[in-house]
Chain A
């Protein structure tokens, strides 16, 4: 369903698993839905040289990020027959093993959610002004580069 209101996608710190569970539960009353697909991005303990990533600190141009996500959301609704979708991204420090990116797509049937999810995730990664700083365990850092 299209929604003209621009939503705030940002959550301070790691996204709690309880929020993901609550999001699933919130769809109980939407009985036209027969399939959900969930993508979760987790902070990985990359080894770079002899250093280990301990956390990622995210910053963003928040207003633009929310507007771009709104446009991506509208594009998904135009392109795929999905019932609803939700996007959340962390701001600030997220330690290794925590969730920093949560995308939730629902539709009547599995094909629509399976097809829309890669488009949605790739669009967000390519077009939304969010910046990750990888903080090593010794408190030095480098800027994250998306593959």
Chain B
């Protein structure tokens, strides 16, 4: 399925763009994480969280086509 990865914070600098559309085979959050890490060393070397529909997604959470937010650790406050 096609996903639009939307980078935030330091990840915008790291990837040199605020967003990109990629095509993936993954259907869950955990498999997407592994697919991204296999795709690009910058994912392997970064701490990142995934979110879809404004919720953090982990483990077996199901992916749907569309936007995925990719967050570095939060640093508000």
Residues of B near A131 (CB, < 8 A) are: 8-10, 71-72, 74-76
A121 CA / B77 CA spacing, docked (Å): 8
| A1 within 8 A of partner (CB) | no
Closest to B49 in A: A129
Residues of A near B71 (CB, < 8 A) are: 61, 129, 131
Residues of A near B75 (CB, < 8 A) are: 130-132, 143-146
A-contact bits for B7-21, CB 8 A (1 contact / 0 none) = 011100000000000
Residues of B near A67 (CB, < 8 A) are: 54
State the main secondary structure of chain B at its contact with A.
Answer: loop
A42 CA / B40 CA spacing, docked (Å): 37
Residues of B near A144 (CB, < 8 A) are: 75
A99 CA / B47 CA spacing, docked (Å): 28
User: What band does the interface of chain A fall in when counting residues whose beta carbon is under 8 Å from B?
Assistant: 20 to 34
A125 contact from B9, B51, B76, Cβ within 8 A: B76
A146 contact from B6, B10, B54, B74, Cβ within 8 A: B74
A133 CA / B6 CA spacing, docked (Å): 18
Closest 10 CB pairs between A and B? A130-B76, A131-B9, A64-B54, A143-B10, A144-B75, A125-B77, A132-B75, A146-B75, A101-B77, A67-B54
Having A126-B74, A131-B71, one finds 11 other A-B pairs with CB under 8 Å, namely: A60-B76, A61-B8, A64-B54, A89-B76, A101-B77, A127-B74, A131-B9, A131-B10, A131-B74, A132-B75, A145-B73
B residues adjacent to A (C-beta < 8 A): 6, 8-10, 51, 54, 69, 71-77
A residues adjacent to B (C-beta < 8 A): 41, 58-61, 63-65, 67-68, 89, 100-101, 121, 124-133, 143-146
Can you identify 24 A-B contacts, CB atoms within 8 angstroms? Answer: A58-B76, A60-B76, A61-B6, A61-B8, A61-B51, A61-B54, A68-B54, A101-B77, A124-B76, A124-B77, A125-B76, A125-B77, A127-B74, A128-B76, A129-B76, A130-B74, A130-B76, A131-B9, A131-B75, A131-B76, A143-B9, A144-B75, A145-B73, A146-B76
